[in-house]
Amino acid sequence: MEAKVRQRSTADERRATVMRTAISAFAERGYYGTSTMDVAKAAGISQGYLYRLFKDKQTLFAALVDHCSDLLRQAAASTAASVTSTDPEAVLQAMTASFEDVIADRDVLMILMHAQCSAGEPVIGEAVRTCYAKQVEYVRAVSGASDERIRRFFADGLLSNVMVGINATTLDTPWARTLRA
């Protein structure tokens, strides 16, 4: 009779598992409403092992912010590469569509929104500022748009986040139509 050999996961594999499960847990209950015990249990590991993978809860959440930031940048890069025009408006319009595709994943959207609300925590605040810095500088480099147009691009994106976050994108009311215009 052949004995089954148990394959042990590497730390990187476990870290990836924790990230996948943590994004759902934090998206649902936020930074303050989610415990490291919740994340460890969802990942099928002990809380002690979670702390071996991530220094603390802030470090774990900041890693999630970095992950979401990378998703945004990858989507923007893919879209920008397919734009044939050098017109800043054309580039920004295409990037808006890629942004909307990324935030259609409600967990990613909620991590980004919870991150802004938790930015008073030093490590998370730094991750959020780094996320914005990378996004703004990438959009500037790829689009060639003016600072004012880039500001409007991000302002519209943040409003889109709120509209998706509060499930108001399909409401047929005057206020919702105004904010979607």
Q: What is the mean pLDDT of the chain?
A: 92
State how far the alpha carbon of 36 is from the alpha carbons of 92, 111, 120, 148, in Å: 38, 16, 19, 41
Enter the tokens of residue 128. Answer: 């959020």
Enter the tokens of residue 63. Answer: 């890693």
**Interior/surface letters 70-97, b for 16+ CB within 10 angstroms, e for the rest:** ebbbebbeebbeebeeeebeebbebbbe
Q: Which of 10-19, 24-33, 63-72 has the lowest mean pLDDT?
A: 10-19
Check pLDDT > 70 for residue 1. no
CA 158, CA 174: separation in Å to the nearest integer? 20
Could you report the per-residue pLDDT of 89-123, keeping only the tens digit for each? 999 999 998 888 888 889 999 999 999 999 999 99
